[in-house]
Amino acid sequence: MVRTYDAGQFDCIVVGAGHAGVEAALASARMGVKTLVLSINLDSIAMMPCNPSIGGTGKGHLVKEIDALGGEMGLNIDRSFVQSKMLNSSKGPAVHSLRAQADKNKYHTEMKRVLENTDNLYVKQGEVKELLIEDHVVKGVVTQTGARYLSKVVILATGTYLGSKIFIGDAILSSGPNGLSGSYDLVNNMQSHQFNLRRFKTGTPARIDARTLDYDEMEIQWGDKNYELFSFMNDHIELDELPCWLTYTNKNTHEVILSNLDKSGLFTGTIEGTGPRYCPSIETKLIRFTDKERHQLFIEPEGRDTHEMYVQGMSTSMSEDVQLAFMRTIPGLKRCEIMRPAYAIEYDCIDPLDLTLTLEVKSVQNLFSAGQFNGTSGYEEAAAQGIIAGINAALKVKEEPPFILDRSEAYIGVLIDDLVTKGTDEPYRMMTSRSEYRLLLRQDNADKRLTEKSYQIGLATEERYNRFKEKMQSIDVEMTRISTTTLKADHVNPILELLQIPTIVHGIKIIDLLKRPEIHYSHLTEIDASRPLDLAIDVMKQVEVSVKYEGYIKKQLAQVEKFKALEEKLIPEGIVYSSVDNLRLEARQKLDEIRPSSIGQASRISGVSPADISVLLVYIEQLKRKNND
């Protein structure tokens, strides 16, 4: 029996220092709350056990929003990226998504440095084995070495470490990601407190030695020449870019894999957890997409000081010898050597329906939860939850109102609302298609949407807020300028002729010219004499989008007004749904389980029909009249 001792008292304790944990800890500490972050291994702070990149479709929006709130992920990838590319750039601005390749070791060391140099934040190595819970209120934690830390609030950000198992062929290892220790005693402790735990799984591809690749057989992939940065605090960073490489599987690859499915834990039944639909293993791809003759693979560098290359698109749980055999059938990889084998990892997580919109656990007061422990996949989804959990934990310590972003305000709002209202039966991944207001929730205007809100709660710094105000002022000034400045027809027509679009007879205001889909700011550089020389690119981008999509934006704003009306119809706390006549049984059960805070949230619960909502509205109105009498 390990002796327990008093190790200290904090306002907030964060369990785990992955992408959720670091954002939670930094948000809490930056808001003036004395915070402790505990990690099983300090070498795993902000570790990238899977892909060496940040951002991507939908995910890039989350990173921009984290940055706009005053989080660290955007700043950190800007300090450590080796390549950057804007995805979906040929499509509309609503789905433009930034993605950057990272030097994964630098990403870790830079984030660790930030944590260690943050006021009010204490960074310690220690595995939590027990939550101290009394009368459904969390009081602190106990570590494996007997250290008992007391706290007003606790945030769980255990990632994929909780009850984790690694699968490589028929080898089953009790281990966390990347060969680090898992967390097992905490599972038993949580079960003793009746936590509703589930089993999910994810996986990661092999890492291969860059010196054993044939680059002539692959297509080189460079990033954008005029690359964009993630943080609104950065204007430009010089980059010594590293390339990625594109190759494909083929018939021989598929034959090796399909003839060895008995060496995949996914197909032998040894893996019980549910995996992510949108990031399937190579075995699953071949079974699911039988018509595809090949699948693309990107060979990505893991950093500047390593030979390890990440094989994106080839997650697998097959045995190591089979992995080597099928990879050596692929152009460019025929002499490859595996430095780290691919593996699947199974872990415990909570049902997000057990959480409130603040990410507080419903059954345990002052206990918050964030990241993959909430049933999501991906660094970005984890970090987004982390910053919200950190903010709300700090606000609870300060006895201030909670901070909740709704679906019309941020992708973060969509993410959390989907989790706690709809739940998820598989690791949840953010995509632009999940947002019904995505034209309003673009990457470029995340600061416009969120920075002032963050400043008001004490997270965004004075420097960030002043920078934001200057940008908004520049946008207002530019909108006025283009609305009042007229360009002569003989100056404009050569450009229109070059673009093969109808010319004009009279002068035209710049704003009306920009409304034409073919015309962009770049076309007007030489003839727009009144444009300020120092007009920032991000200002031009926001102005141009606002002008071109004005009609669509107005339609979405009208939709948001209707949405807000339902969100503002609050449901009284403590309502007994079983006593509401004419509510269907399924609706009663779902409403009682999720306890929505508003009619809007109730309307999004699976199993609650429009008829149920009508009944509920009538019942709430009757309650109000009864209370007024």
Are 239 and 311 found together in one domain? yes
Report the first-to-last Cα separation within the chain, whole angstroms.
61
Alpha helices of 487-549 — where are they, by DSSP H?
A: 489-498, 510-514, 537-548
Query: Quick check: is 9 in a domain?
Result: yes
Residue after which a domain boundary falls, among 297, 327, 344: 344
Are 156 and 115 found together in one domain? yes
8 Å CB contact between 35 and 122: yes
What's phi and psi for 374, nearest 5 deg? -90, 5
Are 528 and 592 found together in one domain? no
pLDDT mean over 377-392: 97
| Domain with 18 in it | 5-51+71-78+107-203+346-427
Q: What is the spatial distance between Cα 249 and Cα 326, in angstroms, rounded to a whole number?
A: 9
**Percent with pLDDT over 90 in the chain:** 91
Q: What is the spatial distance between Cα 106 and Cα 428, in angstroms, rounded to a whole number?
A: 27
> How confident is the model over 419-438, as pLDDT tens digits?
999 999 999 999 999 999 99
Checking phi first, is residue 42 left (phi over 0); if not, alpha (psi -120 to 50) or beta? alpha
Q: What is the spatial distance between Cα 200 and Cα 79, in angstroms, rounded to a whole number?
A: 32
Q: Tell me, what's the pLDDT at 485? A: 95
Residues 6+ apart with CB under 8 A from 247: 217, 218, 219, 296, 297, 299, 330, 331, 332, 333
Torsion of CA 106, 309, 59, 472, to 10 degrees: 50
Query: Quick check: is 99 in a domain?
Result: no
Q: Tell me, what's the pLDDT at 11? A: 98
pLDDT mean over 226-245: 95
Q: What is the spatial distance between Cα 188 and Cα 525, in angstroms, rounded to a whole number?
A: 65
> How confident is the model over 495-544, as pLDDT tens digits?
999 999 999 999 999 999 999 999 999 999 989 999 998 999 999 999 99
Confidence band of 130 (pLDDT split at 50, 70, 90): very high
Query: Quick check: is 325 in a domain?
Result: yes
User: Which CATH number belongs to the domain containing residue 609 in this structure?
Assistant: 1.10.150.570
Q: What is the spatial distance between Cα 286 and Cα 277, in angstroms, rounded to a whole number?
A: 14
What's phi and psi for 134, nearest 5 deg? -130, 125
Tokens representing 158 are 């255990």
Task: Give CA angle at 47 (306, 115), nearest 5°.
Answer: 115
Coil/strand/helix, residue 298? strand
Q: Tell me, what's the pLDDT at 300? A: 98
Query: Quick check: is 465 in a domain?
Result: no
Q: What is the spatial distance between Cα 290 and Cα 501, in angstroms, rounded to a whole number?
A: 45
8 Å CB contact between 15 and 158: yes
> What is the distance, to the nearest Å, from the Cα of residue 328 to the centroid of all Cα atoms in its chain?
34
Are 405 and 356 found together in one domain? yes
Q: Tell me, what's the pLDDT at 280? A: 87
Residues 6+ apart with CB under 8 A from 201: 271, 272, 273, 274, 275, 344, 345, 346, 347
- pLDDT for 557 beyond 90: yes
Query: Quick check: is 92 in a domain?
Result: no
Are 310 and 221 found together in one domain? yes
Q: Tell me, what's the pLDDT at 378? A: 94
309: nearest Cα among 53, 578, 5, 3: 53
> How confident is the model over 244-256, as pLDDT tens digits?
999 999 999 999 9
Q: What is the spatial distance between Cα 343 and Cα 204, in angstroms, rounded to a whole number?
A: 6
User: Which CATH number belongs to the domain containing residue 296 in this structure?
Assistant: 2.40.30.260
**pTM, rounded to two decimals:** 0.95
- Mean pLDDT, the chain, rounded, equals 95
- Give Cα separations from 340 to 39, 250, 316, 336, 357 (angstroms): 23, 23, 12, 12, 39
Are 113 and 187 found together in one domain? yes
Residue after which a domain boundary falls, among 344, 365, 389: 344
> How many domains does the chain divide into?
4
Confidence band of 271 (pLDDT split at 50, 70, 90): confident
Tokens representing 314 are 């080839």
User: Which CATH number belongs to the domain containing residue 403 in this structure?
Assistant: 3.50.50.60
Tokens representing 83 are 């390549």
Residues 6+ apart with CB under 8 A from 415: 62, 376, 381, 384, 385, 428, 430, 434
Q: In what order do the strands lie in the sheet with 338-340?
A: 219-221, 244-248, 296-301, 308-312, 207-209, 338-340
pLDDT mean over 27-38: 98
pLDDT mean over 404-411: 97
Beta strand pairing call for 147-156 and 5-15: parallel
Residue after which a domain boundary falls, among 344, 364, 397: 344
Q: What is the spatial distance between Cα 453 and Cα 589, in angstroms, rounded to a whole number?
A: 35
Are 263 and 320 found together in one domain? yes
8 Å CB contact between 591 and 602: yes
Query: Quick check: is 557 in a domain?
Result: no
Query: Quick check: is 24 in a domain?
Result: yes
| DSSP class per residue in 305-324 | T--EEEEET----B-HHHHH
Confidence band of 279 (pLDDT split at 50, 70, 90): confident
Beta strand pairing call for 296-301 and 244-248: antiparallel
Q: What is the spatial distance between Cα 292 and Cα 294, in angstroms, rounded to a whole number?
A: 6
User: Which CATH number belongs to the domain containing residue 512 in this structure?
Assistant: 1.10.10.1800
Are 512 and 363 found together in one domain? no
Are 175 and 243 found together in one domain? no
Query: Quick check: is 455 in a domain?
Result: no
Task: Give CA angle at 76 (70, 80), nearest 5°.
Answer: 160
- pLDDT for 278 beyond 80: no
What's phi and psi for 12, nearest 5 deg? -140, 135
Q: Tell me, what's the pLDDT at 540? A: 94
Question: Side-chain half-sphere of 231: how many Cα atoms within 13 Å?
Answer: 20
Are 172 and 31 found together in one domain? yes
Are 45 and 167 found together in one domain? yes
8 Å CB contact between 180 and 349: no
Are 271 and 389 found together in one domain? no
Residues 6+ apart with CB under 8 A from 554: none
Q: How many CB atoms lie within 10 A of CB 192?
A: 11
- pLDDT for 629 beyond 80: no
Tokens representing 267 are 């197909």
> How confident is the model over 187-198, as pLDDT tens digits?
999 999 999 999
Reduced DSSP (H G I as helix, E B as strand, rest coil) percent helix, strand, coil of the chain, to 5: 40, 20, 40
Strand spans (E) along 570-619 = none
> How confident is the model over 77-98, as pLDDT tens digits?
999 999 999 999 989 999 999 9
